[in-house]
Structure 1
Amino acid sequence: MTDPYRPSITRREAALRLSAAAVAAAAVGGGALVFHNRRSVVAAAAPIPDWRVPLPASAPKAAAARGSDPGTNVRRAVAALGGMESFVHQGEVVLIKPNIGWDRLPEQAANTDPQVVAELVRLCLAAGAKKVIVTDISCNDPRRCFARSGIAAAAAAAGAEVLEAQRLRMVPAALPGLSAGLEVVEEIVRADRVINVPVVKHHSLSKATLGMKNWFGVMGRGRNRLHQDINRALAELGATFRPTLTVVDATRVLVANGPVGGSLADVRAVGAVAAGTDPVLCDAWGAAQLGLAPGSLPFVEDAERRGLGRADLALVKELGTS
C-alpha cells in the first residue's frame, strides 16, 4: 500500500537528505528541475515596489487568533487590524505568497495550510480585488506540491488564479546585497498588493523559516547561494520586500527536521494565525510558536537593527481562543 505521507523523490534528493545542512541548501538547488520550464524575460532590472498601505498610528502592528478553525483565525486576526478593506481596495491585483515548497500533505506542516490561503483569497475578493494570484516557486515537483499541499484546489475554489512555477515569468530585478543579480517572479512586481503567508517551521540553518525566509520563493535560479550567509540574506530580503500584510500560519508547526519534514512526530498542532504589518514582529511571533526566543534568531536581530520593525512580543494583540 502506498504511504500517503511519502512523496516521490529522486535519488539525488534522497542523497541530499543525508545531512540537515544539505537539505537546507537543496531547498533550491534540489529543485532545479522547476526552473528550466519557466520563461525568463530579458529587460531592465525592475524595482521592487513598496506594497504597504498607511494605517492609523493607533492600529495594532500584529494580532493573533487561536482556535480549531484556520479560516476563523484568519478572519479574526485581519479584522483586528482594521479588516481587509484597510489593505485591499477596489480593482487591485493581489498576490498571495504562501509556502508551497514541498511535496507534502497539510498534516505534515511543511507548507502553508490551505484553509489559511483560501480564507485570504475570499477576504481579498470581498474587499474588491480585481484578481487574486496565489503562487510560489516550489522546491519539489510543483504540480505535486500544489496538489498534495491542498493549496491549488482550495485557492482555486475560493476564486484565485493559481500559478505553478511553469506558468511564471522571471524578470531581472533591482535586488541589493547577496541577492543582487537574481531574477524575480514578474507577477509580484506587477501586483498592487502582496500578502506574505509563511508557515511556522524549523530550519536546519536559520533555526526557523518564517516570513523573511518565505521570500526565497519569488526568486529564480541561483537563490541557493543565499544559504551561505543565510542570516544576513534574510535580513536583506526583509528590507527589500515590503508586503501589505504578513499572515503567519501556525495551524500546525513543524518543530524538527525542517524545512522538509515528513514525520508526523515532528508536527505540533498549535491552532493559531497571526496577521501584521510589522514583518519583524510577525517573525518574532512565529519564533515563539516554535519555542524560540526572538533574540535567538540572528536574522530577526539584524532586521530589527536595520529599523525594519520591532521584535517585542508585547506589541502583538492576542485575541484569545474562539
Structure 2
Amino acid sequence: MDRRSFIRKSTVAGGALLVPTAIDTLWRQGRAADSPDLVMTKGGEPRAATRAAVEALGGMGRFVSRGDIVVLKPNIAFDRTPELAATTNPEVLAALAEMCLEAGARQVKVFDRTVNDARRCYVQSGIAAALQPLGNVELKYVDDRRFRDMRIGGEVLGTWPIYTEAIEADALINVPIAKHHGLARLTMGIKNWMGIMGGNRSRIHQRIDLALAEMAAFVKPSLTVIDAVRILVANGPQGGSLDDVRYPKVIIAGTDQVAADSLGATLFNLRGSDLGYVREAARLGVGEADLNKLKIQELVLAA
C-alpha cells in the first residue's frame, strides 16, 4: 500500500479527522545492511555536500519513486537572509529538489507556515530564487483551508489541525536548519514539524517537549536532512546578528529523525539527551538517541 492509499483508507467519513497514524515509510526504504544510519558531511559547497550525504545513504531513489509527489519541508519561518542562519539554506533545498526530480518525482512541493509574513520570508531566505529555475517544483504559500483535524493520539496532542499536503505526500523530506531556540534549546528536525501545525501553536509551549515528540511519532518523514552549513548559536530562533552565527559547513542526513537531531546537538556541544523533546521521542520509540548504537559515516569534502 502506498502512502496516499494508506491515508485514504484511514480517513474517517467526512474527511475531517484521521485515525492514529501508521504512516511509516519503512516499507518503502528498507535500510541495506551495509548502509549507515546517519551521514555527516564536513566542508564542500552546500549543493555538493547535500548530494554526497544523500548518495551515501543509497541515493534519492531509495526515498522517491517515479511519479511521486514529494514535499520538502524547510524552515522559512522568519524574514531573514541566509547569512543570518535562521532559515534553511536555499542551496541545500535546491539540491534536494533537483535530486527528487532526477529520481522521477512528478512534482516537488515546498512550504512552511511562517511566523513573519510569508511573502517576505520566501524571498529574503533566498529560497524563492533558488527554486525558481527548477521545473515541477512549486514553492507554495500555506492555505488555511488545507488544515484538517487529525488524531495524533498523544497525551498533549489528542487531535490537532495538520497540513494535509504534508501528510498526503508520497514522500515527505524534512529539511530544517540547526539553530538555537530560546524555549526548546535547539530547533532541528523534530521541532520543524511545528511548520505543518495549524491553530494556536503557543498552546503547546507549557509541555513543548512531549508535544513535539508526539508530532514526531505522528509525522514519519522519508528522510531528514539537517542544514548546518551555518548555525545560529544564540538569540534563536529568529536571530538577526552575524555575531551569533557559526559556519561549520555540515550536512546531516538520515532516516531516523531522533538520531539526526542527536547528532545535530553535538554541533552545539550538547547531546541529544540534553534536549527534552529528543528524550521524549526516544521514550516513545520514535527513534534512537544514543549515537553509540548507530553507524555514522563522516565524509570530509574538499573546500
Relative to the length of structure 2, the TM-score reads: 0.88
Q: Which amino acid aligns with 1:51?
A: T
Does the CA-based 8 Å contact 1:51-1:192 persist in structure 2? no
Does the CA-based 8 Å contact 1:182-1:222 persist in structure 2? no
- Matching residue of 1:4: none
Per the TM alignment, residue 155 of structure 1 is displaced from its structure 2 partner at its CA by 2.0
Question: Structure 2 CA distance, aligned partners of 1:240 and 1:181?
Answer: 11
SS at structure 1 position matched to 2:159: coil
- Matching residue of 1:202: 180
SS at structure 2 position matched to 1:133: strand
1:317 aligns with 2:297: yes
Per the TM alignment, residue 288 of structure 1 is displaced from its structure 2 partner at its CA by 0.9
Q: Which amino acid aligns with 1:73?
A: A
Per the TM alignment, residue 164 of structure 1 is displaced from its structure 2 partner at its CA by 1.4
1:43 aligns with 2:15: yes
Q: Which amino acid aligns with 1:217?
A: G
Per the TM alignment, residue 227 of structure 1 is displaced from its structure 2 partner at its CA by 1.2
The alpha-carbon distance between structure 1 residues 206 and 73, as it changes in their structure 2 partners (threshold 3 A), is same
Q: Any gaps of 5 or more consecutive residues in structure 2?
A: 1-13
The alpha-carbon distance between structure 1 residues 201 and 221, as it changes in their structure 2 partners (threshold 3 A), is same
State the Cα RMSD in Å: 1.6
1:242 aligns with 2:242: no
Per the TM alignment, residue 300 of structure 1 is displaced from its structure 2 partner at its CA by 1.3
1:242-295 Cα distance to aligned partner (Å, 9 max, x none): 100000000100000011111110000110101101111100111111221222
Per the TM alignment, residue 168 of structure 1 is displaced from its structure 2 partner at its CA by 6.5
1:104 aligns with 2:55: no
Task: Compare 95-104 and 172-181 and name the one that shifted more.
Answer: 172-181
Question: Structure 1 CA distance, aligned partners of 2:209 and 2:167?
Answer: 24
Out of 194, 197, 209, the position equivalent to 1:231 is 209
Per the TM alignment, residue 167 of structure 1 is displaced from its structure 2 partner at its CA by 7.7
Question: Structure 2 CA distance, aligned partners of 1:164 and 1:156?
Answer: 14
Out of 100, 103, 124, the position equivalent to 1:124 is 100
Per the TM alignment, residue 109 of structure 1 is displaced from its structure 2 partner at its CA by 0.4
1:161 aligns with 2:141: no
Question: Structure 1 CA distance, aligned partners of 2:54 and 2:17?
Answer: 34
SS at structure 2 position matched to 1:309: coil
Equivalent residues in 2 for 1:1-322 (5 A)? 43-47=15-19, 48=21, 49-52=23-26, 53-159=29-135, 160-166=137-143, 169-177=146-154, 178-314=156-292, 315=294, 316-322=296-302
Question: Structure 1 CA distance, aligned partners of 2:91 and 2:141?
Answer: 18
Per the TM alignment, residue 175 of structure 1 is displaced from its structure 2 partner at its CA by 1.8
Per the TM alignment, residue 205 of structure 1 is displaced from its structure 2 partner at its CA by 1.1
Question: Structure 1 CA distance, aligned partners of 2:192 and 2:167?
Answer: 16
Question: Structure 1 CA distance, aligned partners of 2:164 and 2:273?
Answer: 34
Per the TM alignment, residue 200 of structure 1 is displaced from its structure 2 partner at its CA by 0.3
Does the CA-based 8 Å contact 1:108-1:263 persist in structure 2? yes
The alpha-carbon distance between structure 1 residues 57 and 309, as it changes in their structure 2 partners (threshold 3 A), is farther
Per the TM alignment, residue 86 of structure 1 is displaced from its structure 2 partner at its CA by 1.0
Aligned residues: percent identity? 45
Question: Structure 2 CA distance, aligned partners of 1:171 and 1:255?
Answer: 35
Relative to the length of structure 1, the TM-score reads: 0.83
Q: Which amino acid aligns with 1:298?
A: G
- Matching residue of 1:38: none
Per the TM alignment, residue 226 of structure 1 is displaced from its structure 2 partner at its CA by 1.3
1:180-211 Cα distance to aligned partner (Å, 9 max, x none): 33211121122100000110000111110011
Q: Which amino acid aligns with 1:275?
A: A
Question: Structure 2 CA distance, aligned partners of 1:156 and 1:187?
Answer: 20
Question: Structure 2 CA distance, aligned partners of 1:73 and 1:269?
Answer: 14
Per the TM alignment, residue 166 of structure 1 is displaced from its structure 2 partner at its CA by 4.2
Does the CA-based 8 Å contact 1:134-1:155 persist in structure 2? no
SS at structure 2 position matched to 1:308: coil
Per the TM alignment, residue 232 of structure 1 is displaced from its structure 2 partner at its CA by 1.0
Per the TM alignment, residue 115 of structure 1 is displaced from its structure 2 partner at its CA by 0.4
Task: Compare 274-283 and 311-320 and name the one that shifted more.
Answer: 311-320
Question: Structure 2 CA distance, aligned partners of 1:183 and 1:166?
Answer: 12
Does the CA-based 8 Å contact 1:136-1:217 persist in structure 2? yes
Does the CA-based 8 Å contact 1:46-1:189 persist in structure 2? no
Per the TM alignment, residue 68 of structure 1 is displaced from its structure 2 partner at its CA by 3.6
Does the CA-based 8 Å contact 1:200-1:290 persist in structure 2? no
